[in-house]
Amino acid sequence: MTDEVKLYGAAASPTVFRVKIALNMKGIKYENVEEDLANKSADLLKYNPVHKKVPVLVHNGNPIAESLVIVEYIDDVWKGVPILPEDPYERALARFWAKFIDDKCMPAAFGVFGSNGDEQVVAEACEQLQILENELEFKGTKFFGGDDINIVDIAADFLAYWLGTLEEVAGIKFVTKEKFPRITEWGDNFIKCQIVKEILPSREYLLDVFKKRFGKG
Ligand SMILES: N[C@@H](CCC(=O)N[C@@H](CS)C(=O)NCC(=O)O)C(=O)O
């Protein structure tokens, strides 16, 4: 039986791109269903009734929600390039860091843009990112996954240039090369990865979307 794979996503969503990167790593063809988040489809509400958010992957009629759960599912179902390490301890560590990025870094970093530059909010975001900076420094590798990207790098995709474009639109700069040299270097390497490059939206596209969304375009 041929697999039927559908991805419900939305333009410029870094959580959707996590899933796109994972599907691309495995070479999976899929139907891309673009959602209007201001007017969600009946399908999306049916497939993700708990959170009502994208991404949702529908594999042979079975819906799976939550980007990192989907990424793990993709790794479980399709063999080939691994997304999580095989060793149980390394797997646990990778899950730990992906969860930290998802629970702490992403909300703290994006929270800055709705905070009118509130110093406390910026300091809190920097504190979380500093933990990530230290981890990259400690590992001393190109990616969190070593020489190649893994689920931790995928979880952190928003750091690659989503934040930079938002910073540009909002006029708030807090992820600087001086402050976070390892994260900046990681981001440069991440967007150069063939697998990422093939599906990543362009910086200009993101700038355009964010300018429109924040009423400056
Ligand atoms: N924890 C979820 C977050 C997903 C999420 O925040 N999706 C956003 C787009 S990036 C969304 O659907 N927003 C619409 C809404 O909240 O109504 C995941 O990792 O999949």
Locate tokens 């990422």: which residue?
Answer: 196
CA distances 99 to 60, 92, 210, 213, Å, are: 27, 10, 26, 28
Angle between helices 119-139 and 88-100 (to 10 degrees): 160
Longest dimension (CA), the chain: 55
Give the end of a domain, one of 26, 56, 77: 77
Closest ligand 1 atom to the C-alpha of 53? 12
Asked whether residue 66 falls in the same domain as residue 117, the answer is no
Q: Whose CA is nearest to atom 12 of ligand 1?
A: 53
Using the mean position of ligand 1's atoms as its centre, give its distance from the Cα of residue 9 in Å.
Answer: 9
Query: Ligand 1 center to residue 7 CA distance, Å?
Result: 14
Within a 13 Å sphere around the CA of 136, how many CA atoms are in the beta-carbon half? 23
Q: What is the CATH number of the domain that holds 15?
A: 3.40.30.10
pTM of the predicted model, to two decimals? 0.96
Q: Is residue 16 domain-shared with residue 54, that is, in the same domain?
A: yes
Q: Which atom of ligand 1 is nearest to the CA of 70?
A: 20
Domain containing residue 182: CATH number: 1.20.1050.10
Q: What are phi and psi of 14, to 5 degrees?
A: -70, -25
Number of domains in the chain: 2
Judge if the beta carbon of residue 53 lies within 6 A of ligand 1.
Answer: yes
Q: What is the pLDDT of residues 201-217, one digit of tens each?
A: 999 999 999 888 876 55
Give me the residue label for tokens 């992957």: 57
Judge whether 115 lies within some domain.
Answer: yes
Same domain, 147 and 125: yes
Q: From the CA of 16, how far away is ligand 1's center (Å)?
A: 8
Q: How far apart are CA 185 and CA 62, in angstroms?
A: 38
Residue range 51-103, pLDDT digits in tens: 999 999 999 999 999 999 999 999 999 999 999 999 999 999 999 999 999 99
End-to-end CA distance of the chain: 47
Q: What is the average pLDDT across 175-192?
A: 96
Query: What amino acid occupies position 112?
Result: V
Q: Say if ligand 1 is within 6 A of residue 9 CB.
A: no
For ligand 1, whether the C-beta of 18 sits within 6 Å is no
| pLDDT computed for residue 203 by the predictor | 92
What span, in angstroms and rounded, lies between the C-alpha atoms of 183 and 139?
Answer: 12
Atom of ligand 1 nearest to the CA of 13: 10
pLDDT tens column, 143-160:
999 999 999 999 999 999
**Is residue 42 situated within a structural domain?**
yes
Token pair for residue 78? 């399709």
Q: Domain range for residue 42?
A: 5-77
